[in-house]
Every structure is written in C-alpha cells, then in structure tokens.
C-alpha cells in the first residue's frame, strides 16, 4: 500500500509522458488524463477523463487504485476504467439513436468513437498484462 506522499513523489520522479506545473502554493503533475495536486497540507488526485466540462476529484475506489498500484500503474488502471465508462455512455447513445431518430450519420460517428475507445482500452489493457 502506498501513501499519498509516496504516490506524489513517484509522480514527480517520473519524467516520461508527464507535465509538471508549479505555482505559488500548488505543485501538480498530469499524466494520461490524471492530475495530482499537492497543496501545503493535503494531496488531491483529479480524474480529468470524467465529469464533462469540469474535472472531478477521484472517488474512494479510484484512490484505492493508486494506493494499491502506485502512480504510473494507477494511472493506467484509471484510464481503463474511464474507457469502460465512456463505452457504456456511447452504447446507451447508440441504443437511443437506433430506437428514435435513426440518423445513419450520427450512428456511424458514434460507432467510430466506440472503435477508437476500444482500441485505446485494448492498448492499455496490454500494458497492464505485461
């Protein structure tokens, strides 16, 4: 089990595919759509893949992923979860589109979006399995 301080230090030490920003009171690291922010007295992990126009702080199950796997592997697990979440949303939109308007262009666009997310899901699932 990792603590939030250990997770943050791993995020800072990891130099590949990360963006580090430092402001007056906050240091933050972004990787794969996940942002970890360290304030003076607490650390937050933000899931940027959910929430639409605004970013949501991770819930308890998502924090548990990071505490079990650490920063780099926890980010991959969170991205996999986000892919599954988005696939569920797209499937619902496809179902409602097929049952209501039957707009072929829109259905095709949704299916292309689903294929792109499935490809992303498969590539990250391979990383986890290796």
Cβ-count burial 32-64 (b if 16+ within 10 Å, e if not): bebbbbbeeeeeebbbebbeeeeeeebeeebbe
Domain residue ranges of the chain, discontinuous segments joined by +: 4-63, 75-129
* 58 within 8 A of 75, measured Cβ to Cβ: no
Q: Which helix (H) or strand (E) holds 19?
A: strand 19-22
Please give the chain's pLDDT, 130 residues, in tens: 999 999 999 999 998 889 999 999 999 999 999 999 999 999 999 999 987 788 999 999 999 999 999 999 999 999 999 999 999 999 999 999 999 998 999 999 999 999 999 999 999 999 999 8
Distance (Å, whole) CA 74 – CA 59: 13
pTM of the model: 0.91
């Amino acid at each position: 089990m990792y603590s939030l301080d250990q997770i943050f230090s791993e995020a800072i030490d990891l130099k590949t595919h990360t963006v580090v920003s430092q402001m007056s009171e906050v240091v933050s690291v972004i990787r794969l759509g996940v942002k970890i922010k360290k304030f003076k007295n607490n650390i937050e992990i933000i899931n940027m893949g959910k929430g639409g126009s605004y970013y949501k702080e991770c819930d308890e199950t998502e924090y548990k992923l990071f505490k079990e796997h650490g920063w780099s592997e926890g980010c991959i697990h969170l991205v996999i979860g986000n892919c599954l979440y988005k696939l569920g949303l797209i499937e619902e939109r496809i179902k409602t589109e097929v049952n209501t308007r039957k707009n072929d262009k829109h259905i095709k666009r949704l299916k292309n979006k689903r294929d792109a997310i499935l490809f992303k899901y498969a590539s990250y699932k391979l990383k986890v399995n290796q």
